[in-house]
Amino acid sequence: MTANNIPAMMDDMGRRAKAAAAALARSSVEQRAAALGAAAEAILAHRDDILAANARDMQAAEQKGLSGAMLDRLLLDEARVAAMAEGIRQIAALPNPLGRVTAEWERPNGLLIQRVAVPLGVIGIIYESRPNVTADAGALCLKSGNAVILRGGSESFHSSSAIRDCMIEGLQAAGLTGDAIQMVPTTDRAAVGYLLSGMPNYVDVIVPRGGKNLIARVQNDARVPVIGHLEGICHVYVHASADVDTARDIVLNAKMRRTGICGAAETLLIDAACLDTHWRPVADALIDAGCEIRGDARICALDERAVAASEADWDTEYLDAIIAARAVDGIDAAIAHIAAHGSGHTEAIIAEDQQAVEQFFHDLDSAILLHNASTQFADGGEFGMGAEIGIATGKIHARGPVGAEQLTSYKYVVRGSGQTRP
């Protein structure tokens, strides 16, 4: 594959994806469910092939000196392969997102108008090293009747290809075209550029899934709509009215349950009015769990275990056992801090004062706002929406968890009896 061939190759993929999307839009829900079930079967049946492909990727990654965290993301084992198949089965079991009548009304002239959910068309998904995204994203697109062009990280190329083969086996077993789930067959970065900007006639939307640099590149280069997933600089705000045990439990969970997910808390805001009563229990729990605290001047003055935060700390997604902590003078200051430093992902308020809660909910504009609950609930499964491609932080089309339902559009179907417009 040379760079010169890329536009022709990508255009061909685009044409096939568009034809597959048209076929999928007309397929039955039973066919799509059968394809998902068969894909899950195929993943289990070809487990050894997938693990062998993954071993090739792992070997290359180790030679390239990838970090332990990167290697762990890349690694597949028997349990992870089984979990992938189970994930596809769970997606198959979700309600059919297509054909839902999401609104219905009758006009005075007798026209009956229905708004009906339809697929988006062709989705381009660009992701990084986790090979299981190939299965998750492929299955979510198939569930929602969309054709997909996948472009995974070069590190996971062989693993993803083996998984993609299983997805195609599933499609074909159900009489659907394998073109519904395609994967860019090269690790050449020019192919990503072409997917983003060169094929607006074939690609309806791009979903990037990965780190800050990937998202920034996609949002800058894309000539088609992007359902964006920015980083999660999530805040927990402890209001003066907070119950101290609730504050301690939620801050600890929001930060430390898993530090590497986008819904993990990165900044703790605490009312100066309750520092005396609430700081120690919260800070003790964090420090006992191995968390570093980067505090502002008031917190550092109060607690010698905190190190001094720099301005950059308020804008950092650590994804690690570190929390930035700042004392604020009431809810207006907390809201102003979040508006200035948040990424619009998820914020929580811990409070017993209901008026403060309503102000927090009204004045802040993040995808997810929680009261007395952990930010780590920012997850499609926890929302009861099933698997998701990510948590969208943009405001167009879908916001928050992006599952099968969010990968649909709608059309209006209007039933008349001869009406003409006066």
Nearer to a second copy, 99 or 185 (CB): 99
Closest CA to 406 of 227, 242, 231: 227
Task: List alpha helices for 198-295, DSSP H.
Answer: 212-221, 244-256, 275-288
Output DSSP code: residue 315.
G
Burial string for 70-83 (b: 16+ CB within 10 Å, else e) reads bbebbbbeeeebee
Under rule CB under 8 A, residue 246 binds a second copy? yes
281 binds a second copy (CB under 8 A): no
Per CB under 8 A, the segment of 47-55, 179-187, 268-276, 357-365 that binds a second copy is 357-365
Minimum CB–partner distance for residue 197 and a second copy (Å): 10
Q: Which of 170, 62, 117 is nearest to 409 (CA)?
A: 117
Q: Is 276 in the site for a second copy (CB under 8 A)?
A: no
In the numeric block, the tokens 């780190």 are attached to 211
Asked if 241 touches a second copy (CB under 8 A), the answer is: no
Placement of tokens 């108008």 in the chain:
113
Shortest Å, Cβ 228 to a second copy: 9
* Residue closer to a second copy, measured from CB, 96 or 372: 372
Element spanning 184, H or E:
none
Site membership for a second copy, residue 53 (CB under 8 A): no
Q: Rule CB under 8 A: is residue 399 a binding residue for a second copy?
A: yes
Q: Is 219 one of the binding residues for a second copy (CB under 8 A)?
A: yes
Smallest distance from the beta carbon of 292 to a second copy, in angstroms?
A: 21
State the sign of the Cα–Cα–Cα–Cα dihedral 377, 381, 384, 385: positive
Helices marked H in 257-353 = 275-288, 297-302, 331-341
> Which C-beta is closer to a second copy: that of 89 or that of 115?
115
Asked if 96 touches a second copy (CB under 8 A), the answer is: no
96 vs 161 by CB, closer to a second copy: 96
For residue 42, give both structure tokens: 């195929």
Q: How many residues bind a second copy (CB under 8 A)?
A: 69
Question: HSE of 2 in the Cβ direction (CA atoms, 13 Å)?
Answer: 1
Is 148 strand, coil or helix?
strand
* Binder among 40, 195, 368, 387 for a second copy (CB under 8 A): 368
From the list 400, 402, 404, 406, which residue makes contact with a second copy (rule: CB under 8 A)? 400
Name the one range near a second copy by CB under 8 A: 68-76, 89-97, 164-172, 381-389: 381-389
Neighbours of 349 (CB within 10 A): 29
Residue 101 in the binding site for a second copy (CB under 8 A): no
Return the closest-CA partner of residue 347 out of 360, 359, 329: 360
| Residue 410 sits in the site that holds a second copy (CB under 8 A) | yes
Q: Which two tokens stand for residue 329?
A: 């003078």
Supply the minimum distance, in Å, between the C-beta of residue 221 and a second copy.
9
Q: Which of 9, 11, 15, 25 binds a second copy (CB under 8 A)?
A: 25
Give, as ranges, the residues between 102 and 141 that touch a second copy (CB under 8 A). Answer: 105, 107, 111, 113, 116, 118, 120-121
Q: How many residues does the chain have?
A: 422
Alpha-carbon distances of 380 from 155, 207, 364, 385, rounded to whole Å: 27, 16, 21, 5
Where along the sequence are the contacts to a second copy (CB under 8 A)?
22, 25-26, 105, 107, 111, 113, 116, 118, 120-121, 200, 204-205, 219-220, 223, 225-227, 243, 245-246, 249-250, 252-254, 257, 339, 357, 361-363, 365-374, 376-377, 379, 382-384, 394-397, 399-400, 409-421
